[in-house]
Structure 1
Amino acid sequence: MPEVVFTGPAGRLEGRYQPAKQKGAPIGIVLHPHPQFGGTMNNQIVYNLFYGFLNRGFSALRFNFRGVGRSQGNFDHGQGELSDAAAALDWAQAVNPEARTCWIAGVSFGAWIGMQLLMRRPEIEGFISIAAPANRFDFTFLAPCPSSGLFVHGAEDRVAPHKEVMAVIEKVKTQKGIQIEHQLVDGANHFFDGKVDELMTTVDTYLDKRLGKRDEAA
């Protein structure tokens, strides 16, 4: 897996990047869970989302926020991490100048950062938010949400109960032309322990609907 280092606002950021085989392919960026609670780009869900994009013909990037792994800087309570995510998108676009669109996927804290980036970057045409912690972070900026996407929660999530994000989704659903979907994975906790395969099946089904089925021979 090709390691990459690119410049972020607080210094170097460490990532893993795989280009698509086709020129002009969309970009997929995956954001990891909370840096202060063990979140890294090697999180199992982040890893699976990364390959989910890659296997669908995207150029895919995952990276460590500031202060994680070999990324420089210190945790910044979301503000700096949002700047890191913007720098990651800038870098991915610089190495993929033909790419016209991007998808963002985030896990827990990364979902909160990803949705903020979505509000600032009109080229992001879709999102996947896993275990979005609407009880811990303010998601009211999503009014209106500029792109359609999917929220997925574990039915047994006690860290970020799905009922909290439902209030956010209901507010956004009314926006014209934007469709926000929400799926529950039965028996799954916040970390989808033992349920990552079911989670990825849910994500793949949604992406099939939005983008068409994958070419398994690709």
Structure 2
Amino acid sequence: MPQPPFPLDSGTLLLDGPAGPLEVAVDLPEPDQARPLVAVVCHPLPTEGGTMHNKVVTMLARALRELGATTVRFNFRGTGQSAGGFDHGSGEQDDLRCVVDWVRAARAGDALWLAGFSFGSYVSLSAAAGLQPDALISVAPPVSGRGWDFSRIVIPEVPWLVIQGDADEIVDAQAVYDWIDALPRKPQLVRMVDTSHFFHRKLIDLRGAIQHEVKAWPPLA
């Protein structure tokens, strides 16, 4: 089945995904602000209620859209209208590859950024070496517990931002900092004081941090 065309207006659609229909939301920037950039944003753990409508995910996408990016959010398999069942990160990487393939076929001249929150950052980072994005954004990467193996992740040599709350009650913030310290090439790191995993009362600060850190990245500079 051929994939649907990339929309000219903001809205939702279904792709032909590896496990069946894959629910996707595309949001366009203001026409006079549009840059040649598409950012694909991955959501947190589906088994804990994570969806593409999560408030951190939508704020992350909004922050980039206000800088001129077209943003693409999608529900992993088994979430919302996406078919299939939770696959512990493996099948979810296939879902991400499907979305990226569709974006690149439709917007071949645009830069591609990958972003993710919590489990979504694990999926996007795990797939990054194969997908070779132009930039990466990781919010609260779950390097501690839950069984996500970050030790084998290979990060492409592209601009990379990590944002972590110091008061995260789900991800051990110190484990994130220790992981970054051990990396041969370190990301831009923003530590947000008194900030919980879901950025309660800190969403506007999150938006500001993202925009401040990435505004010099191509094609925004």
Q: Please give the TM-score of this superposition, normalised by the length of structure 2.
A: 0.86
Deviations 1:131-190 (A, max 9, x none): 100003211123554323111111101211121122221232x34xxx512111111111
Please tell me the residue identity of whatever aligns with 2:57: V
Q: Which residue in the other structure is 1:188 paired with?
A: 195
Give the stretch that moved more between structures: 35-44 or 56-65: 56-65
Matched, 1:119 2:129: yes
Q: Matches of 2:114 and 2:154 in 1, distance apart?
A: 18
Matched, 1:54 2:65: yes
Q: Which sections of structure 1, spanning at least 5 residues, go unmatched?
A: none
Q: Over aligned residues, Cα RMSD in angstroms? A: 2.1
Matched, 1:32 2:39: no
Please tell me the residue identity of whatever aligns with 1:44: K
Matched, 1:18 2:19: no
Asked if the contact 1:17/1:61 (under 8 Å) is kept, the reply is: yes
Q: Which sections of structure 2, spanning at least 5 residues, go unmatched?
A: 1-9
Q: Which residue in the other structure is 2:139 paired with?
A: 130
Give the stretch that moved more between structures: 85-94 or 30-39: 85-94
Asked if the contact 2:63/2:208 (under 8 Å) is kept, the reply is: no
Please tell me the residue identity of whatever aligns with 1:191: F
Asked if the contact 1:23/1:98 (under 8 Å) is kept, the reply is: no
Q: Which residue in the other structure is 1:76 paired with?
A: 87
Asked if the contact 1:156/1:190 (under 8 Å) is kept, the reply is: yes
Q: Matches of 2:58 and 2:155 in 1, distance apart?
A: 30
Asked if the contact 1:13/1:71 (under 8 Å) is kept, the reply is: yes
Q: Could you say if the C-alpha distance between residues 7 and 213 of structure 1 is closer, same or farther in structure 2, counting changes exceeding 3 Å?
A: closer
Q: Which residue in the other structure is 1:204 paired with?
A: 211
Q: Which residue in the other structure is 2:174 paired with?
A: 163
Amino-acid identity (%): 29
Q: Could you say if the C-alpha distance between residues 194 and 23 of structure 1 is closer, same or farther in structure 2, counting changes exceeding 3 Å?
A: closer
Matched, 1:93 2:104: yes
